[in-house]
Amino acid sequence: MSRKKLPDNHFFHKTLPKLRKNKGLGQKEFANKIGFSQSYISLIEDGLKQPSEKFIKAVENYWGIKFEENKEIARADNNELIYIPAVKGRIGAGGGFEPDNTIELKLAFRKEWIEQRGNPKNMSLIRVHGDSMEPTLFSGDLLLIDHNQNHIDTYGGIYAISVNNEIMIKRLQLIRSEKKIKVISDNEKYQPEFFDPKEITINGKLIWFAREYEK
């Protein structure tokens, strides 16, 4: 006996694949990020399962958006939005910085979502250039940097840093036993480097990024 599909006016199974693919996430990777199984997400995207309130909330929190019944993405009141400008400058994944403070665009974030992650006044958007952070970050990705987070977390993270007079975006790990900072390129073609903490200035932590979908 075949399973019956949910009514066509149920929007969620149409919206979720768009959001996921726009960020370059497969079902399994996305499932791991929000704490659900791949099979659960597959059923929703196929229109065979009604998403639970817990699942919807997890997706809302992950993207900082709000869903309403029979609508794809709810329109937020302007008072609920905070606009972060993106400059035309580029930060190098492999080193180097192209300064240009001309505002390229402004992105709207839900106030509740972004304030949970820090002070928006101390955040900025900039695009990455280069391949050394692939497959995590690709050239052209738009990065949201929180400049208040200028220390390395226990489990590390991706940071905008200044080292040897160059500004770049890298994954950092603190090696306490050696009192060193490990600077990691996610692209395996590039070897990690080790620096004394005094040699590195941490300009902020990556807290979100966006990628344009190309066919």
**Distance from C-alpha of 116 to C-alpha of 127, rounded to nearest angstrom:** 23
Q: What is the mean pLDDT of residues 153-166?
A: 88
Between 89 and 153, name the one with better pLDDT: 153
Tokens read off for 2: 């075949």
**Distance from C-alpha of 215 to C-alpha of 212, rounded to nearest angstrom:** 10
E strand residue ranges, the chain: 81-92, 97-98, 103-110, 123-129, 142-146, 157-163, 166-175, 180-184, 193-195, 200-210
pTM over 0.75: no
Q: How confident is the model at residue 96 (pLDDT cuts 50, 70, 90)?
A: low
Q: How confident is the model at residue 113 (pLDDT cuts 50, 70, 90)?
A: confident
pLDDT at site 78 = 57
Output the CATH code of domain 1-75.
1.10.260.40
**Distance from C-alpha of 97 to C-alpha of 22, rounded to nearest angstrom:** 26
213 has a pLDDT exceeding 70? no
pLDDT at site 70 = 38
201 has a pLDDT exceeding 80? yes
Q: What is the mean pLDDT of residues 23-45?
A: 86
Q: For the chain, give every domain's residue range.
A: 1-75, 79-210
45 has a pLDDT exceeding 50? yes
pLDDT at site 69 = 46
73 has a pLDDT exceeding 90? no
CA angle, residues 180, 186, 190, in degrees to nearest 5: 80
Which CATH class name applies to 79-210?
mainly beta
pLDDT at site 181 = 96
**Minimum mean pLDDT among 82-86, 90-94, 183-187: which range?**
90-94
CA dihedral 43, 47, 48, 49 (to 10 degrees): 70
Q: What is the mean pLDDT of residues 107-129?
A: 89
Q: How confident is the model at residue 101 (pLDDT cuts 50, 70, 90)?
A: low
